[in-house]
Amino acid sequence: MDHPNSYEDCSVEDDAAQLAENGSRIVEIEANLRALQAHQQHLLAENVKLRSNIAAKQVHNAPMRTLIPELCNLIFAFAIEGWISARSFIKVNSSGVKDLIPYLPRIETLILRVHQSALSILFPRGSVTQMSNLKCLCIQHHGYILDEYDLGQTAAPNLRVLRLSDPTPFFNMLSSSLANLKILHLERIEYWEYPRKVPALLSSCTALEEILIAFPRNLYLASPETVTLPSVSRLSLDWRFACNPIPIFSCIRTPQLRHLSLTSNNFLNVFSHEGISSIQDLVQSAPDLAALTLVGFNLALCDFSPIFYHAPALEELSLLNCHGVGRLLSDLCPPDWARPSTWPCPSLGRLRLAGVHDNDLRPLIDFVEGRMETSGVRIEKSAHFLKELVLDSRIQDFATQGRLLILRGLSIIAPSVKVIGPLDNLDDLVSKRGHVQSALPTVVFPLSNAATTTSSTAPPLFNQAAFAANLCPSAMALLSDRQRDDLHKSMLDYLFVNNHIEAFTALKQSAGIDYTPDPNARYTGLLEKKWTSVIRLQKKIMELENRNAQLQEELSLSPAKRAAAQTDWLPRAPAAHVLTGHRAPLTRVAFHPQYSILASASEDATVKIWDWETGEFERTLKGHTKPVNDLDFDHKGHLLVTCSSDLFIKIWDSQNEWKNTKTFPGHEHAVSSVRFMPGDQLIISASRDRTIRLFDVASTHQIRTLSGHSEWVRCAIPSSDGKFVASCSKDQTVRLWDPLTGEMKSELRGHENDVLVVAFAPIAAYTAIRELAGIPNTDRTKRHGLFLASGARDKTIKIWDTQTGQMIRNLAGHDNWVRALAFHPSGKYLLSSSDDKTIRVWELATGRCVKTVEAHSHFVATLAWGRQPAGGSSGDKKVNGTDSAEVSDPEKVVNVVATGSVDQTIKIWLP
């Protein structure tokens, strides 16, 4: 064959070259083909998006019957995502909704925000809707579904994600589709229609891995059975409304739980002991719990510390916008002697905080220091040290002392613990000398030894030396140029005269002074003269201080002339006077508001009058035939009211030889308590006949009866403004009343035995109580009766918020019944007496017992704090541990405490 292009006419080399060329062209064509295919796919995707956008923009313009088929065809023809949103079904008619029904079996993600009537059309009663491709279902409906069987069932075996606002009406509808559900979100809504069905719904979801529940207002479950969720690893519980989530906690058990989040939007919400125990049971059922988040809790009102002793695997703790963080961290701070394996949550390695307050900083630093790795503490297999601290706070969020504290603390912590957040770099703060100078004037910044013992290889958090230099102005800035020059030259003269040549030369070069020794210069010998002058002045100061102390001691000899420096005085042993004379146990003591007079009541049916300043007995008032249980002076001290087990109340006139001028009948059993109402026009009494009664002083007529207690009413006291009355009873309750209407405002429950005494907190104590509760002290309300204290036979004292009815703190420490309470005039302390024979002093800001006084040899039945104006000036302040508005002039306050005991003695405690 003779053909010019025939392969037979070409040599082998030519064929090989042609083959290589063809191979190269094939590779190039294939690359171009792939690029064209990729470009084709990109254009197709763009077309899909454009057509979907066009269809979506026509939602509000096109008729629903026309739009739905078009939109569904676009979705399924091009297989974009397989989702459909029925947002526009809220106001459509039934015929428009029916057009969606044919497409339900093909939908993968369905989002419905519709009226309940649309749901009845999509899922008609008695039917079974096949949705085999459905993986995600979100329903937010409005309107009530009165019967859960109004909706038909759905068959969605591949359902993985379910988000509902109210799950309870859909239990029947989804009952056959929950077996493979992985994620369940019950979003925030105010009310559930059938809340008792929630446990049954949860128990049907056996494959759940993640649960989020936002509780409604009407959460109530009647003794739900325990629901075990074997696969749940993440659980979030959120109650933003005033509800009781205890039933949920008590019924859920999650053995595989790894992440637990608890959110409360009401920081005044107080968990009872039962609530804490329920959360503890939930945590205890999850031995592998690794992360716990608490959001919005008031940790000062609730003792959450027991929970952490049941979380050995906890690695991360987040406390976000919680109040009272310091209290929890103090409870979790390990003691110095404890081994790491014995710490609560010994595996904790990461702590995250947001919304930290100034009073939380010290417990925070102590906690981190106690948890961080230091030399001398051996790591154990079951324990880990804190490695990471996340602080979502800024330095500007803290007050002056708080800034110093956090800066010092972080300088110690940073070498061992990684600090993350706005406080992790403070170089900018150091450079802004003017801003820091104005906020922190002339404060010496202490450098802790702990900072020097840490690893030198770790980068410092900030330049501490530079910060101290910028923070503290130089002492030289206080001297003028001439004074500075004289000081330098006098120092050089002293060094030269004493032959310290090296120091002389170094100082001269450093100061840059042209100095020539001159025996006649004014600075010659100046340093020695100043030094001897300082010593002479110091000696003079010491002499004057000693003389001042002698004069102060002479001035303090009269109790009526006590200085204002003793505003924080607390009683201490021994007692100044021991008054004897009663022949039976004491029941009550009360101070006269103007004079140094003390009245005492006893079971010997008498009232005795004493001069507490001298300890002398004055007279005995007889008139009652049975034990006198209580007494009280009016605000001027003109009248004394007493009550007795003989069913009578009597008034005695102190200006008329203490004569019995009025007698009030009315009670049907022993009268246990009596008080003058503010204004002294009325008296209020409590009795064993279960009633509280108001009497008019002038006419002795009964004005009103307050009924509600089911047992003996032990005590009833008015607030300082007379707008409220607090009572306590053998029925273990404290109740708040409106004396004008007789209406019961609130009932406070929490004691486990008879409540014996109540006392309203004075306004001076509000700041400390708010700090105790972890409430920001931004509320400057001066309304009377916001807080009160109660003591009971359960050996405890409880502080209450009368506005919310919540218990702020339980004070435990007495070993027997608590019989009497009195607030300190400064508002910083609460005093209590008990059948354990002691007086205890409680610091209100922390809730701790700071002092215990062994007072009597028998039960201490009564306690009163006497506060009176010096010199007998007219006083309109209450005494005897009741409520005064504010201490306007502390120099006119006399510190004296009186106690009465079953040992038949009265003791007077003076500074």
Q: Which residues contact 2 (CB under 8 A, 6 or more apart)?
A: none
Mean pLDDT in the chain?
77
For residue 842, the cross-strand partners are 830, 849
pLDDT for 469 equals 43
Residues 424, 430: Cα–Cα separation, whole Å: 13
Reading the block at residue 61, the tokens are 């313009």
Torsion over CA: 511, 513, 517, 523 (sign): negative
For residue 851, the cross-strand partners are 841
**What are the helix (H) ranges across 333-448?**
361-371, 400-413, 427-431, 433-439
Q: Determine whether 106 is exposed, middle or buried from the number of CB atoms within 10 Å of its CB (0-12, 13-18, 19+).
A: middle
Q: What confidence tier does 382 reach under pLDDT thresholds 50, 70, 90?
A: very low
Least confident of 391-395, 646-650, 771-775: 391-395
Q: Which residues contact 683 (CB under 8 A, 6 or more apart)?
A: 641, 649, 664, 674, 675, 676, 677, 694, 695, 697
Total H helices, total E strands in the chain: 20, 45
For residue 264, the cross-strand partners are 239
Residues 248, 253: Cα–Cα separation, whole Å: 10
Mapping DSSP to helix (H, G, I), strand (E, B) and coil, where does residue 141 land?
Answer: strand
Residues 468, 847: Cα–Cα separation, whole Å: 36
Reading the block at residue 580, the tokens are 């004897």
Beta-carbon count within 10 A of 417 CB:
23
- The yes-or-no verdict on residue 699 having pLDDT over 50 is yes
Residues 244, 218: Cα–Cα separation, whole Å: 9
Q: Do strands 606-611 and 597-602 pair parallel, antiparallel, or not at all (unpaired)?
A: antiparallel
The residue whose two tokens read 């701790």 is 848
Reading the block at residue 25, the tokens are 């062209």
Q: Interhelix angle for 501-511 vs 481-497, to 10°? A: 160
Q: Which amino acid is at 772?
A: L
Residues 40, 52: Cα–Cα separation, whole Å: 18
Q: Which residues contact 380 (CB under 8 A, 6 or more apart)?
A: 339, 340, 341
3-state secondary structure 200-250: HHHHHCCCCCEEEEEECCCCCCCCCCCEECCCCCEEEEEECCCCCCHHHHH
Residues 772, 847: Cα–Cα separation, whole Å: 7
Mapping DSSP to helix (H, G, I), strand (E, B) and coil, where does residue 704 land?
Answer: strand
Beta-carbon count within 10 A of 130 CB:
13
Q: Do strands 234-239 and 109-115 pair parallel, antiparallel, or not at all (unpaired)?
A: unpaired
The model's pLDDT over 799-811, given as tens digits with 9 standing for 90+, comes to 999 988 889 999 9
Quick check: bond before 574 cis, omega within 30? yes
- The yes-or-no verdict on residue 384 having pLDDT over 80 is no
pLDDT for 304 equals 78
Reading the block at residue 20, the tokens are 């290589």
Residues 131, 113: Cα–Cα separation, whole Å: 18
- Say what the alpha-carbon torsion angle 583, 586, 588, 591 is, to the nearest 10 degrees: 70
Residues 69, 74: Cα–Cα separation, whole Å: 9
Q: What confidence tier does 555 reach under pLDDT thresholds 50, 70, 90?
A: low
| Cα→Cα distances 777→33, 323, 393, 751, 773, Å | 73, 12, 19, 28, 10
The model's pLDDT over 209-259, given as tens digits with 9 standing for 90+, comes to 998 888 776 665 544 567 788 888 998 888 766 666 666 666 778 889 999
Q: How many CA atoms lie within 13 A of 483 on its CB side?
A: 7
Q: Do strands 234-239 and 210-215 pair parallel, antiparallel, or not at all (unpaired)?
A: parallel
Q: At CB < 8 A and 24+ separation, what contacts does 400-403 make?
A: 400/439, 400/440, 400/443, 401/358, 402/358, 402/361, 403/439, 403/440
Reading the block at residue 68, the tokens are 């739905």
Q: Which residues contact 581 (CB under 8 A, 6 or more apart)?
A: 608, 617, 620
Q: Interhelix angle for 325-332 vs 361-371, to 10°? A: 30
pLDDT for 280 equals 80
599 within 8 A of 619, measured Cβ to Cβ: no
Residues 642, 675: Cα–Cα separation, whole Å: 9
Residues 652, 665: Cα–Cα separation, whole Å: 15
pLDDT for 88 equals 34
What are the φ/ψ torsions at residue 79 (nearest 5 degrees)? Answer: 50, 55
Q: Which amino acid is at 188?
A: R
pLDDT for 334 equals 67
The model's pLDDT over 325-341, given as tens digits with 9 standing for 90+, comes to 888 888 787 665 556 66
Beta-carbon count within 10 A of 485 CB:
15
- The yes-or-no verdict on residue 731 having pLDDT over 50 is yes
Q: What percent of the chain has pLDDT over 90?
A: 29
The model's pLDDT over 561-611, given as tens digits with 9 standing for 90+, comes to 543 446 778 898 889 999 999 999 999 999 999 889 999 999 999 999 999
Reading the block at residue 152, the tokens are 């038909």
What are the φ/ψ torsions at residue 909 (nearest 5 degrees)? Answer: -110, 120
Residues 427, 417: Cα–Cα separation, whole Å: 19
The helix (H) or strand (E) run that includes residue 55 is helix 12-57
Mapping DSSP to helix (H, G, I), strand (E, B) and coil, where does residue 493 land?
Answer: helix
Residues 808, 801: Cα–Cα separation, whole Å: 7
How long a stretch of residues is the chain?
A: 911
Q: Determine whether 761 is exposed, middle or buried from the number of CB atoms within 10 Å of its CB (0-12, 13-18, 19+).
A: buried
For residue 598, the cross-strand partners are 591, 610
Beta-carbon count within 10 A of 181 CB:
21
408 within 8 A of 423, measured Cβ to Cβ: no
What are the φ/ψ torsions at residue 509 (nearest 5 degrees)? Answer: -70, -40
pLDDT for 566 equals 67
- The yes-or-no verdict on residue 264 having pLDDT over 90 is no
The model's pLDDT over 291-319, given as tens digits with 9 standing for 90+, comes to 999 888 878 777 777 788 788 888 899 99
Among 677, 749, 680, which Cα is nearest to 706's? 677
Among 479, 410, 423, which Cα is nearest to 451's? 410
640 within 8 A of 630, measured Cβ to Cβ: no
Q: Do strands 905-909 and 577-580 pair parallel, antiparallel, or not at all (unpaired)?
A: antiparallel
589 within 8 A of 862, measured Cβ to Cβ: yes
- The yes-or-no verdict on residue 839 having pLDDT over 60 is yes
Residues 635, 587: Cα–Cα separation, whole Å: 21
305 within 8 A of 344, measured Cβ to Cβ: yes
The model's pLDDT over 32-43, given as tens digits with 9 standing for 90+, comes to 888 898 888 888
* Per-position DSSP letters for 665-686, written without gaps between them: ---SS-EEEEEEPTTSSEEEEE
Q: Which amino acid is at 889?
A: D
Give the mean model confidence (pLDDT) for residues 509-521: 79
Least confident of 331-335, 389-393, 663-667: 331-335
Reading the block at residue 212, the tokens are 């989020």
